[in-house]
């Protein structure tokens, strides 16, 4: 849709989405994006990061096999266009250096969002703290706090 900002969604945001850990405000935002058919992008590594996180949670017995399979199915079905090319890792390496990131995974999302002029949404507070002062298009969607 013309004039709508493209969205780049990182693995932490999407993991919180599929495990229903987004705040109600951000879950409603997601629903609005889907209804509006906002263009969404992510690097292909997002699927691998989600699969890895689901596996870690299963190994810690935090979730069962059915939840793992349902979560991965939900990720595969998301209306996200996966973009990747030979330049993206080099852009991520430069950003990881410039932002003093310990790993390049997060920098891939930042590089992709920068390249396409997209708003980047993350639930990774550390990434948001490192990037937001320089990039006002990086947005933070915290996890919903567990009920006490």
Question: Mutual orientation of helices 11-18 and 65-77 as an angle, nearest 10°?
Answer: 120
Instruction: Confirm whether 17 is domain-assigned.
Output: yes
Beta strands in the chain (DSSP E): 7-9, 40-42, 81-82, 119-122, 138-140
What is the per-residue pLDDT for 2? 44
Reduce the DSSP state of residue 18 to 3 states and report it: helix
Is the pTM higher than 0.75?
yes
8 A C-beta contact, residue 138 and residue 120:
yes
Return the sign of the alpha-carbon dihedral for residues 97, 100, 103, 106. negative
Instruction: Confirm whether 134 is domain-assigned.
Output: yes
Q: What is the pLDDT of residues 72-87, one digit of tens each?
A: 999 999 999 999 999 9
Instruction: Confirm whether 108 is domain-assigned.
Output: yes
Q: Round to whole Å and give the CA distance between 16 and 6.
A: 20
By residue range, what is the domain housing residue 134? 7-140
Residue 115 corresponds to which tokens in the numbers above? Answer: 């390249």
Instruction: Confirm whether 147 is domain-assigned.
Output: no
Instruction: Confirm whether 15 is domain-assigned.
Output: yes
Mean pLDDT of the chain: 93
Instruction: Confirm whether 56 is domain-assigned.
Output: yes
Which CATH number characterizes residue 96's domain?
3.40.50.1010
Q: Round to whole Å and give the CA distance between 118 and 105.
A: 17
Give the chain's domain count: 1
Return the sign of the alpha-carbon dihedral for residues 35, 40, 72, 138. negative
Which residues are within 8 A (CB) of 72 and not within 5 positions of it... i.e. 6 or more apart? Answer: 50, 51, 54
pLDDT for 148 beyond 70:
no
Instruction: Confirm whether 2 is domain-assigned.
Output: no
């Amino acid at each position: 849709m013309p004039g709508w900002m493209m969205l780049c969604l990182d693995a932490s945001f999407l993991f919180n989405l599929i495990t229903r850990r987004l705040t109600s405000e951000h879950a409603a935002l997601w629903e609005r994006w889907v209804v509006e058919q906002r263009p969404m992008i992510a690097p292909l590594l997002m699927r691998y990061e989600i699969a890895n996180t689901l596996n870690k949670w299963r190994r810690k017995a935090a979730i069962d096999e059915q939840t793992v399979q349902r979560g991965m199915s939900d990720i595969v079905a998301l209306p996200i266009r996966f973009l990747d090319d030979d330049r993206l890792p080099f852009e991520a390496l430069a950003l990881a250096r410039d932002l003093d990131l310990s790993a390049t995974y997060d920098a891939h999302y930042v590089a992709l969002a920068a390249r396409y002029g997209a708003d980047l949404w993350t639930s990774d507070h550390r990434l948001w703290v490192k990037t937001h002062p320089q990039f006002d298009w990086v947005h933070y969607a915290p996890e919903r706090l567990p009920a006490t």
